[in-house]
Amino acid sequence: MPLAPLFAAAATIPSILFVGNSFTFGALSPVEHYRADAVTDLNGEGIGGVPALFATFAEESGQPWRVSLETSPGKDLRWHWENRRALLDRRWSAVVMQDYSTLSADHPGDGSELSDYAGRFARLFRAHSPAVRLSLTATWSRPDQTYVAAGHWAGQPIQRMALDLRAAYDRARAANRAVERVNPAGEAFNCAIARGIADPNPYDGITPGQVDLWASDHYHASTAGYYLEALVVFAGVTGARPTTLGPQERAARDHGLAPPLAAALQKVAEDMVVRKRC
């Protein structure tokens, strides 16, 4: 049964806030400044990023949203709490939060602060609106943490880091019942690899016919990677099926993603959110 659009019957246009870092604002790709005029960057830095992709998908689906973002590179939720709380302390219909890529810069894989600060933000936002829809975006495996000897996940399969991150995000959600959902962006990367859409190891070259989901630093996402992240968040927040966007979807076209690739990534996102498996 198709998921019902979340705010289809709402009398007012819902608002959504994205809180995160470079993995949210689309660093090292054209996504970073894409359609910045379609969103509100609360820091005034002209960022479009994943929020602008979300806004584009929403427009195409006939679901108008007021999209805002507050992002800063290399930061975790604790930093946003300590430095941007007053800026975020208002009413929102939905909030999507994303923590540091290894959870803790000093202790990779440690999600204790994620649970703590997700809870603090949940209480802050629910004080304005008990009905706010809160979610956390679990991010992807980093090749530089997997294929490089100094990486925390060195020697393990590329999928492992994303699975460990997802487990930490699940613990944060379990500890904070106000958080409704974890957006499985990292597992969507794993699924794209499993389906042969994406190459698992950018260090040894990209297999013909496959796409690199990471940027040149083998850390941040590529345009295709951010596109997949945005599709996952869009499906989870709105209840819309990404495949209805179609192979000629505007953001994919604007970024030069071939129609078959756009369709394949839409299917991955839909399966991960709706079926909850690859």
Distance CA 207, CA 216 (A): 16
Q: Residue 61 corresponds to which tokens in the numbers above?
A: 């689906």
C-alpha pair distances (Å), 35 with each of 11, 40, 55, 66: 26, 10, 9, 14
Mean pLDDT confidence for 213-236: 98
Domain 15-275 bears CATH identifier 3.30.365.10: no
pLDDT tens-digit series, residues 73-103:
999 999 999 999 999 999 999 999 999 999 9
Q: Does residue 8 carry a pLDDT above 80?
A: no
Q: Residue 154 corresponds to which tokens in the numbers above?
A: 């060195």
Q: What is the pLDDT of residue 269?
A: 98
Distance CA 204, CA 142 (A): 15
Q: What is the pLDDT of residue 3?
A: 35
DSSP element (H, E) containing 94: strand 94-97
pTM of the model: 0.95
Q: What is the pLDDT of residue 197?
A: 98
Mean pLDDT confidence for 224-240: 98
pLDDT tens-digit series, residues 31-48:
999 999 999 999 999 999
Q: In sequence order, what are the residues at sequence separation of 6 or more whose Cβ sits closer than 8 angstroms to the Cβ of residue 166?
A: 138, 182, 184, 186, 187
Contact indicator for 130, 178 with CB cutoff of 8 Å = no
Name the residue with tokens 């399969």: 157
Q: What is the pLDDT of residue 1?
A: 29
How many residues can be counted in the chain?
Answer: 278
Contact indicator for 221, 229 with CB cutoff of 8 Å = yes
Contact indicator for 209, 159 with CB cutoff of 8 Å = no
Distance CA 73, CA 276 (A): 30
Q: Residue 41 corresponds to which tokens in the numbers above?
A: 């960057």
Measuring CA to CA, which residue among 28, 89, 14, 18 is closest to residue 50? 18
Q: In sequence order, what are the residues at sequence separation of 6 or more whose Cβ sits closer than 8 angstroms to the Cβ of residue 127?
A: none
Name the residue with tokens 């998921």: 3
Mean pLDDT confidence for 108-137: 97
The pair phi, psi for residue 19, each rounded to 5°, is -120, 125
Contact indicator for 200, 158 with CB cutoff of 8 Å = yes
What does 186-207 look like in DSSP terms, one character per residue? HHHHHHHHHTTSB-S-GGG-PP
pLDDT tens-digit series, residues 155-209:
999 999 999 999 999 999 999 999 999 999 999 999 999 999 999 999 999 999 9
Q: What is the pLDDT of residue 5?
A: 45
The pair phi, psi for residue 163, each rounded to 5°, is -70, -40
Q: What is the pLDDT of residue 11?
A: 52
> Domains of the chain: which residue ranges?
15-275
